[in-house]
Amino acid sequence: MEKKEIPVGMERNIPSMNNSLLFFMDIRKGKVTEKNFVAEYEKAMTKREISMEKWLVDTFAYLGINATVKSDRYSLPIMYQIKATQYGESYLNGAYESYNIFRKVLGKVLSEDIHKIRFYIFAEVEDHFLMGKVNYYFNYYVHETPY
């Protein structure tokens, strides 16, 4: 499998095209072929990451936490990382239900009494589990000043 180098040292796992967790990529409709699979996978996962980041920024603002996502997403130096894994199951959307990831992230951030944070989410699909699994990495940098 091909892996893409991420500037902060993370590598995105490229799963096989027949992974059942990639149902959202239109592989069976012929829009995604072996030729463009890696680029389409990267685009789909980045779109998913950005939508999750927007929700978290809004939620952090509601909680009084100043949160931003760097425009050059993967260049942020990682100070801390929270990993959450969702496993594939008969209900395929289960691996993409964000509230389970958000619950873990919000619990950790609130318990650490963080006031200002920069972050990004990195997601990847793996084949090493019977129905596949999706790993979510919440990489963040805490600013020392509270405001």
- 1-44 pLDDT, tens digit per residue, is 233 334 455 778 788 777 777 767 666 666 777 888 888 888 88
Q: Is residue 147 part of a domain?
A: no
Number of domains in the chain: 1
Q: Is residue 130 part of a domain?
A: yes
Indicate whether 146 pLDDT > 70.
Answer: no
Give the pLDDT confidence score for residue 138 in this predicted structure: 92
Domain extent, residue 17, equals 4-142
125 vs 74 pLDDT, higher one:
125
Q: Which of 30-34, 123-127, 135-139 has the highest mean pLDDT?
A: 135-139
Give the pLDDT confidence score for residue 118 in this predicted structure: 92
Query: Does pTM surpass 0.85?
Result: no
Mean pLDDT, range 116-135, rounded to an integer: 84
139-142 own/partner pairs: CB under 8 Å, 24+ apart: 139/8, 139/10, 139/76, 139/78, 139/80, 139/81, 140/78, 140/79, 140/80, 140/81, 140/82, 140/109, 141/76, 141/77, 141/78, 141/79, 141/80, 141/117, 142/79, 142/80, 142/112, 142/114, 142/116, 142/117
Q: Is residue 41 part of a domain?
A: yes
Give the pLDDT confidence score for residue 105 in this predicted structure: 93
Mean pLDDT, range 129-143, rounded to an integer: 84
Q: Is residue 109 part of a domain?
A: yes
Q: Is residue 8 part of a domain?
A: yes
Q: Is residue 115 part of a domain?
A: yes
Q: Is residue 9 part of a domain?
A: yes
pLDDT tens string 84-115: 888 876 666 666 778 888 999 999 999 988 89
Give the pLDDT confidence score for residue 57 in this predicted structure: 95
Q: Which of 66-70, 72-76, 104-108 has the lowest mean pLDDT?
A: 72-76
Q: Is residue 72 part of a domain?
A: yes
